[in-house]
Structure 1
Amino acid sequence: MRSNFNFSNLCGTVYRQGNVVFTQDGNSVLSPVGNRVSSFDLVNNNSFTFPCENRKNIARIALSPDGRILVTVDDDGRALLINAKRRTILHHHNFKKPVKDLCFSPDGKFLAVTHGSHVQVWRAPSFLIREFAPMVLFRTYTGHFDSVTSITWSPCSRFFVTCSYDMTARLFTLDTLPGFRPKTLSGHKDRVVNAYFSKDSKSIYTVSRDGAVFVWTAKPSEDESSSEDSEEDSDSDSSSNNDTNVDESRRIADTRWGVSSRHYFNMPATRVVCSTFHQKSSLLVVGFSTGVFGLWELPSFTNLHTLSISQEKVTSVDINPSGEWLAFGAKKLGQLLVWEWQSESYVLKQQGHYSDMNTVSYAPDGQLVATGGDDGKVKLWNLSSGFCTVTFSDHSAAISQVEFAKQGKVLFSASLDGTVRAYDLIRYRNFRTFTSPSPTQFSSMTVDESGEVLAAGSIDTFEIFLWSVQTGKLMDVMSGHEGPVSGLSFGPGGAQLASSSWDRTIRVWDIFRRARTVEPYSINSDALTVVFRPDGKELATSTLDGQIQFWSLEDDKQTGVIEGRKDVSGGRKQDDRITANNNSSGKSFNSLCYTADGNYILAGGNSKYVLLYDVKEGVALKKFQISDNLSLDGTQEFLDSRLQLEDGTNISNGIQGDESDLEDRLDHSLPGAQGGDLSRRKYRPEIRTKSVKVSPTGRTWSAASTDGLIVYSLDESALFDPFDLDIDLTPESVTKTVKKGDYLVGLIMAFRLNDEKIIEMVYTSTPPVEIRLIVKQLPLVYVDKLVSFIGKHMERSVHLEFDLLWVSSLLTFHGRTLRSRQIEFATPLRSVQKGLIDWQKDVTALCEENGFTMEYLLSQPIEVDNVL
């Protein structure tokens, strides 16, 4: 088995905090998920997560106008410059202060960043020239008396307006103009949330938190007529765009700004949290603290649309360039919504688990993943698209286990509410509920291969319950454990059931034998989980002392042990008084999973590491660190000595008291609660892995962690095109390349040109003996294009054997990729399948016709001429 798994996607979280941003084409939306960024493609219905990680949770993101550079800034002001196309880190930068907002200029040459009460403007990095320092400070602007909260550029990229906690907005110019002094726009009674330029830059709109919108225009002056004459003369004399821009800059700089009109939203006990403005259509989108958003047309302030989309406040809003789709983020609920306001319909509505994710399970085909969390919800995630397809909310307490049936479209879930539920994945409904005679909490659950017998273990009664899935009746209650049942696992045949308990024993039950006398396997510590090897001849269990023990069922003895305490150790919590190396708490595995061949085992626990072990050798092959997020507790190895008190304890760095709104600063937690209200995230979540599972295909594995559902895969998601370089791509160069015999390069150049006639010329010119080698060396990024072309070519081609050689080579060398991404390749593969079926029918009809002709000829009498 290959161990070079790489991070593939993060599915269980869609939004955490910060701002959501649309891409330039308006088809995708970028959302911060912890210390990573996820991209949701709204047209092709898929998503991916950038593999780049910030040090802490991301506070703000900004995308360059050309869509090439993505800048992410965490809570401490440390930034990453990311190549958005290649998904790689270009540069690390530290702004040395928390950043409230950052924004690229419309021409993409500058990046404005808030820096306390100042504003820093940096030269944006360029791809056209080699730069020693990608980030160069252009100028620092001052004038505000409190922290700056937002920055907005003018359409000409020569001015920007800033908003601050001091209830004012200021207009700055990028380049120095003689006699210009920054304009102060004051008059609001609460802090200004955002300020925007109109399309013609003749008006400025300011939005305050108390629900007031001011329209700022030029004040009328006494010598207005003379100024108009001078402007007409200057306009008639100017003959270049540069002069026009200078005149426009001069006009904005010389304008005496004043309030021309005041508007109010008139929503009692409601504050403005976020807003955005679409210049082309003059639409103002505002999100309120009650979960309501509205659209207003400026400057007339006409209300076009108002809707309540969330139960909590809307923390971020953005509008796509065409002005049709609105993206909203709700921090408390972790919601990401995309709303089309003209048709009044959802384009995207996703939400992760409200609290921690407890368990994960793969469907038999490996395309779906089920997760259960402390919020009592069961969610199904499509790994190909990264979206949640359905949510079941029938449970009233935390989910402890989810499991797919090997046969049929059925999903089972066990909960602490005392029920085990079965869900129909065709009609998406809860069709059966299993309960015990007396109320109990179920901590573990499993189902046999046939999907007919269901077993669940109890926490408080220490019993194991067996139900019939078809009838829903309780078949048997097995007792014998003297502690909570922590793990259950059915053997391959379904006759043997293994259970682990906190009573330091493992039991193997024969569920079809009437005698219930079972000799337990004694271990030295509490058993946390137990799993069968795929062949059913061996058991693996993890214990509280950090060991993984292996037991042979044929010999009834222990065959091996892995000391995993040192492997899983790592990370120091905020309140730990000892170092990470000497800390023994939590150094154990609470989840195990065998690979399909049974030679390797994946283990995860209350740590930032997931281990892959070789069972036979008993050594760790690889250690996966699931997160580098320092906002989580237990990720850093060494604590900051400056935060330590005299008794050795550490100062808690909770969020409380740093929020801007009063209701966020108030603590409504119960007396004695040290972590605050857990639902409000006023505590440091601990990094841990509660469940790990390997895909049935063996190509991916998933972990239910504090960050969400983290997926690792052997298949590369970001494909590199080695021919995306400086090549003279013309039809003549493609023809010359083919004549030289470089058929692979010629085929790729033809795909780059995207001309079907040129592709067909290279395709038909390829010698049959070269087909297998060309397909083998073809980069994965062009496989879908080749499959699509072959499907179209087979409809009009008469070269049967030639096309079959291409199809056979594709399935031989890229069949695994086509299978793992079958949803993405569904359409081109159907066209190839249709062509093969049509050929089969034609060849079959031709053979039958030839067969009838031969039979007819053979049945005719043979005339023999007698030659004398």
Structure 2
Amino acid sequence: MKIDFKFSNLCGTVYKKGNLIFTPDGNSLISPVGNRVSVYDLVGNKSITLPFENRKDIARIEISPKATLLISVDEDGRALLINYQKQVLLHRHNFKAAVYDLKFSPNGQFLAVTHGNQVQIWHAPGFTREFAPFVLYKTYSGHFDLVTSICWSKDSKYFLTCSKDMTTRLHAIDRDDFAGACLTGHSDAVIGAWFSHDEKSVYSVSKDGALFEWTMQGGKWSNESELSQMPRKKKRTDEEVKPIMKWKSTNRHYFKQNHAKVVSATFHSQTGLLSVGFDSGIFGIWELPDFINIHTLSISQKKINTVAVNASGEWLAFGCSKLGQLLVWEWQSESYILKQQGHQQDMTSIDYSKDGQYIATGGDDGKVKIWSTQTGFCFVTFTEHTGSVKAIEFAKRKQVVFSASLDGTVRAFDLIRYRNFRTFTSPTPEQFNCLAVDQSCEIICAASMDNFDIYLWSVQTGKLLEILSGHEAPVSCLAFSYSTGQLASGSWDKNIRTWDIFSRDKATEVINHTSEVLAMAYSPDGSMICSTTMDGNINFWSTDDFKLISIIEGRKDISAGRSSQDKMTAANSAAGKYFTSICFTSDSKGVLAGGNSKFVCLYDIDSKSLLKKFQISFNLSLDRMQDMLNSKNMTEAGPKDWIDGAAEYSDLEDRIDRSLPGVQSGDPSLRTTKLEARTHGVKFSPTGRSWAAASTQGLLIYSLDDSIHFDPFDLDMDIHPEAINSSLEKKEYTKSLLIAFRLGETHLIDKVYNQVPKQNVQLLVRDIGSKYFVKFLKMMVRQLETNPRIEFHLEWISNFFRNNSHYLKDHAGEYLPTLRALLKCLSTNFDDISSLCNENIFSLEYYTRPVPEEAQEEMEVDEVDMDDIGL
């Protein structure tokens, strides 16, 4: 059993708070997700999460102009310097104040960072490991309140700063004789200010929805009359007098969005487009300097926290913190490039599909989401439930997902037509908190929290078949045996009961425990039942005689940290010292367990030892992350972290607390709640190469290290590069290609591919086995992107699909990501060839068009004139 699982991706959450940025090429979007950073490839349709964590939630990120450096800064001003290309952590730095904005200069030499009411200019660090990469160059002051935004000029000689003191200031980077300029006139905090494309004007936007255009009237040296008014002792020479830049507000515009306040804004100087997000969920695009409204669209129910634009100005990115929304919109075609949203509240349940390609999650918001493990994106969301979804499970043989909710329904969703095709209900209203589906997908059962009964339905008809009674407390878990089809149920009455629902020959077996049963799972071979109890133990029972095999004491392994409001230490607290979810590994040699703690534990069954303990998060913004608390952070009003010292909740909407008294879950942005690090569900992939956890941070995926580029299989003594050369000399093209596939070397595969004659392609494709299909499709994608032999590629592809279309249709889930990549390459080549053909047809029509008679006469006159001058 392998244990070297490493963090691979974060799928369940797409945006939490902070700013969004595009990479310089405009093809990728970088988003802060809690204390991690996710990168969304908008062209390749894939997302990855960088393997680094800040100490707390990220408040600001920035990337260098050449996309070599990435800086992420958390709430306290602690920054990580990351080599973006190689994903290597270079340095940790503390700015010693909350950072509201930071920007690299366009030439990449400086980094401007807000520091309270000042702006610090740092020398831009290098992308190699250095002892002190951050060197302070200069500090600029002048504002009387927090600086919120920074904007550089194109030549990196000037920059603008905006502040909550309702002013905008212009600074020079290398001119000590420059006095700067202070632009005043706004009646609310300034959100942002930007230079125009010709840098002769400045646009500033305030929170109250006002747009001011400032124009420089010219600069001049102070004249003698101004110097004569100074006292003689303070009179300066001409060399000491600073230039005075005169700026004037030439235009004032107002957005007029029904008293909605501006929350975020960005400006693209080349196109002159200003994009503004309001607290009503509306965003608009205005063309400057004429202030023409191009688009106004409502994209969210809550305020838009951040707006970003890519380098070409075609794509706009929006982030909504309260709903966890991330949108990328192409304003010219008025279409969405990316539209993702995580669960608004906690993720409560999780399950893998039979092929490991998809993960289904359910949340307290009543939504069921299906995530792709290949891309990391959610491609379908079901919103039929009106209550919290407590259990979810894939059907073993069909493309169906079942879910149980507290709204009193169990629903079945079709993943082919994406619809809710069956709803199961009980005779009396009940709240279902667990479910199980048998191997044949004929019977589905769910348990109630109210009357402690188990309900059985037929999946085909939707009719209630039977009600199983016997438990004396709420049923916490249900599971079907993989081999016998036996149903087991665990309850808070300290018992596990087994039910033979397909025959009445066997009596119900009762397995007694010493504490309440919280979670349960059958081993893949059906020989064991594993259960977790309130006392922190993991119990293993034999399914033959229902005797106890072994016990693992995991109370100390799962122990959580101390809450900021606990009166006792973490060692004496009983909170979080038990497992609430458990699953077997694919080889049945170990179990993976998680609970109300920051740890997920992997145990070996035979030795009853802890193999590895995974910490799902190091985010100190979550509660119960530290075992020891610092007494200086406790005040008379409560913990410092729970007090709004920076006036972030200055708006009335943010200060209203709509949660019920005593409720610990709800809107995580309110100061009355602080989320705890916990794991609601863990599942191993059927392939055994990865496992997933439904945690407070989102859907965490851990997988084995796949960074090895040499990936051979089916090797023996005859498989080597020399065998490829000898096979090519003998014109054994099928053998040479299969050897190249088995070696897995790209240059060898391309070498064989280019030497195959066109007339042999049809026979060669027939001899390729199904286990080489993935490598073959990847080869075709690579050839279409790099090799200009289009007709030769199409010959391979057409023969391949002509011979294997039925097999690919039956196994579409295995080859879907590669087939999508192939379709994308074919579409790109088709568009390029179509545009080239259209241009050639137009040129040929132009050249072959008959010349008019008037043009012919003019040509004859020109020839005569040329003869007259002797040419």
Distance in 2, Cα, partners of 1:36 & 1:831: 45
1:678, CA displacement in angstroms? 3.3
1:596 aligns with 2:558: no
Over 3 Å counting, the alpha-carbon distance change for 1:794 and 1:584 in structure 2 is farther
Equivalent in the alignment of 2:97:
97
Mapped contact 1:12–1:708 kept (Cα < 8 A): yes
Secondary structure of residue in 1 paired with 2:454: strand
Q: Which residue of 2 aligns with 1:115?
A: 115
Matching residue within 292, 299, 303 for 2:293 = 303
SS at match of 2:92: strand
Letter in 1 for 2:184: S
Residue 199 of structure 1 corresponds to: 197
In 2, distance between residues paired with 1:92 and 1:130?
11
- Structure 2 equivalent of residue 574 of structure 1: 564
Post-superposition shift, 1:825? 8.8
Alignment of 1:77-156 (within 5 A): 77-127=77-127, 131-156=130-155
1:619 aligns with 2:609: yes
Conservation of the 8 A alpha-carbon contact between 1:314 and 1:329: yes
Q: Please tell me whether residue 216 in structure 1 is matched to residue 209 in structure 2.
A: no
Asked whether the 8 Å contact 1:189–1:210 carries over to 2, the reply is yes
Does structure 2 retain, via aligned residues, the 8 Å contact 1:794–1:832? no
Task: Answer whether contact 2:191 2:205 (CA < 8 A) is retained.
Answer: yes
1:327 aligns with 2:327: no
Whole-angstrom CA distance in 2 between matches of 1:253 and 1:62: 33
Q: Which residue of 1 aligns with 2:488?
A: 498
Q: 1:71, 1:82 within 8 Å by CA — same for their partners in 2?
A: yes
Matching residue of 1:551: 541
| Contact 2:765–2:800 (8 Å) recurs in 1 | no
Match of 2:837 in 1: none
Question: Pairwise mapping of residues 420-431 of structure 1 onto structure 2 (< 5 A)?
Answer: 420-431=410-421
Are 2:455 and 1:465 equivalent residues in the alignment? yes
1:273 pairs with one of 263, 281, 285? 263
Alignment partner of 1:796 is 2:794 = no
- Displacement of 1:267 after TM fit? 2.2
Q: Which amino acid aligns with 1:308?
A: S
Correspondence list, 1:703-782, <5 A? 703-716=693-706
**Which residue of 1 is the match for residue 39 of structure 2?**
39
1:307 and 1:637, CA in 2 relative to 1: closer, same or farther beyond 3 A? same
CA separation in 2, counterparts of 1:365 and 1:830? 30
2:3 corresponds in structure 1 to 3
- After superposition, the C-alpha distances for 1:718-762 in whole angstroms (9 at most, x for unaligned) are 67899xxxxxxxxxxxxxxxxxxxx99x9xxxxxxxxxxxx9999
What is the CA-CA distance between 1:583 and the residue it aligns to? Answer: 2.6
Letter in 1 for 2:133: P
The answer as to whether partners of 1:791 and 1:832 remain within 8 angstroms in 2 is no
Q: 1:844 corresponds to which residue?
A: none
Equivalent residue letter for 2:650: D
> Which sits farther off after the overlay, 503-512 or 574-583?
574-583
Q: Matched residues in 1 for 2:296 and 2:196: separation?
A: 22
Aligned AA for 1:425?
Answer: L
Aligned to 2:431: 441
CA distance in 1, matches of 2:783, 2:685: 21
CA distance 1:764–1:170, change in 2 (3 Å): farther
Shift of 1:667: 3.2
Partners of 2:92 and 2:622 lie apart in 1 by 21
Measure the CA separation in 2 of the matches of 1:106 and 1:526.
62
CA 704–789 in structure 1, closer or farther in 2 if over 3 Å, else same: farther
Q: For residue 400 of structure 2, what is the aligned residue in structure 1? A: 410
| Residues in 2 aligned to 1:528 and 1:463: alpha-carbon distance in whole angstroms | 16
- Residue among 182, 186, 190 paired with 1:184: 182
Distance in 2, Cα, partners of 1:563 & 1:18: 41
- Between 374-383 and 763-772, report the one with greater CA deviation: 763-772
> How far apart, in 1, do the equivalents of 2:693 and 2:794 lie?
33
Contact 1:787 1:832 in 2 (8 A): no
The structural deviation recorded for 1:663 is 1.9
Unaligned runs of 5+ in 1: 225-251, 723-742, 747-758, 841-868
Are the equivalent residues in 1 in contact too, given 2:221–2:243 (CA < 8 A)?
A: no
Match in the other structure for 2:173: 174
Aligned match of 2:682:
692
Q: 1:772 to 1:419 in 2, by over 3 A?
A: closer
Whole-angstrom CA distance in 1 between matches of 2:778 and 2:92: 34
Q: Deviations over 1:151-203 (max 9, x none)?
A: 0000110110000011001111111343x112111111111110001111111
* Equivalent residue, structure 2, for 1:663: 652
* Post-superposition offset of 1:211: 1.0
Q: 1:715 to 1:831 in 2, by over 3 A?
A: farther
Distance 2:18 2:710 in 1: 33
- Conservation of the 8 A alpha-carbon contact between 1:384 and 1:823: no
Instruction: Give unmatched runs, 5+ long, in structure 2.
Output: 223-241, 712-719, 786-792, 805-871
Structure 2: distance between partners of 1:719 and 1:21 = 31
TM-score by length of 2: 0.82
Percent identity of equivalent pairs: 49
- How many pairs align? 768
Instruction: Using the TM superposition, give the Cα deviation of residue 309 of structure 1 relative to its aligned residue in structure 2, in angstroms.
Output: 0.8
Q: Give the letter for the 1:635 counterpart.
A: M
Match for 1:389 among 375, 379, 386? 379
Task: Say which SS state the counterpart of residue 354 (structure 1) adopts.
Answer: coil
Distance 1:660 1:591, change over 3 A: closer
Contact kept in structure 2, 1:153 and 1:161, CA below 8 Å: yes
**3-state secondary structure, aligned to 1:568:** coil
1:677-712: CA deviation from partner (whole Å, max 9, x where unpaired): 636443210110000000111111100000000001
- RMSD of aligned C-alpha atoms? 3.6
Q: Distance in 1 between matches of 2:216 and 2:202?
A: 10
Superposed CA offset, 1:466-489 (max 9, x none): 111011111111100001110100
3-state SS of paired residue (2:392): strand
Measured after TM superposition, the shift of residue 596 of structure 1 is: 1.9
The answer to whether the aligner puts 1:362 opposite 2:352 as a matched pair is yes
Q: Deviations over 1:2-56 (max 9, x none)?
A: 1111111000001000001111111111111100111111111111111111011
1:442–1:762 distance in 2 versus 1, CA, 3 Å: same
2:470 equivalent among 480, 485, 496: 480
Please list, as runs of the form range in 1=range in 2, the aligned pairs for 1:245-284 lying within 5 A after superposition. Answer: 255-284=245-274
TM-score by length of 1: 0.82
SS in 2 for 1:47: strand
Distance change (3 Å), C-alpha of 1:700 and 1:188: same
Per-residue deviation at 1:447?
0.2
Mapped contact 2:345–2:666 kept (Cα < 8 A): no
Distance 1:222 1:528, change over 3 A: closer
Q: CA deviation at 1:804?
A: 12
Distance 1:280 1:652, change over 3 A: closer
CA pair 223-395 structure 1, distance change in 2 beyond 3 A: same
Q: Deviations over 1:620-663 (max 9, x none)?
A: 1111111111111112222122123699x855625587315322
CA distance in 1, matches of 2:504, 2:576: 40
The answer to whether the 8 A contact 2:727-2:736 is kept is: no
| Cα separation, 1, equivalents of 2:221 and 2:171 | 25
Q: For the Cα contact (< 8 Å) 1:355–1:373, is it kept in 2? A: yes
Residues 566, 311 of structure 1: CA spacing in aligned structure 2 closer, same or farther, 3 A cutoff? Answer: same
The answer to whether the 8 Å contact 1:448/1:494 transfers is: no
**Structure 1's 426 and 588: CA in aligned 2 closer, same or farther, altered over 3 A?**
same
* In 1, Cα distance between equivalents of 2:414 and 2:304: 34
Distance 1:834 1:150 in 2: 55
Q: Deviations over 1:36-92 (max 9, x none)?
A: 111111111111111111011000000111111110000010000111112221111
1:524 to 514, 539, 558: 514
What is the letter of the counterpart of residue 78 of structure 2?
A: R
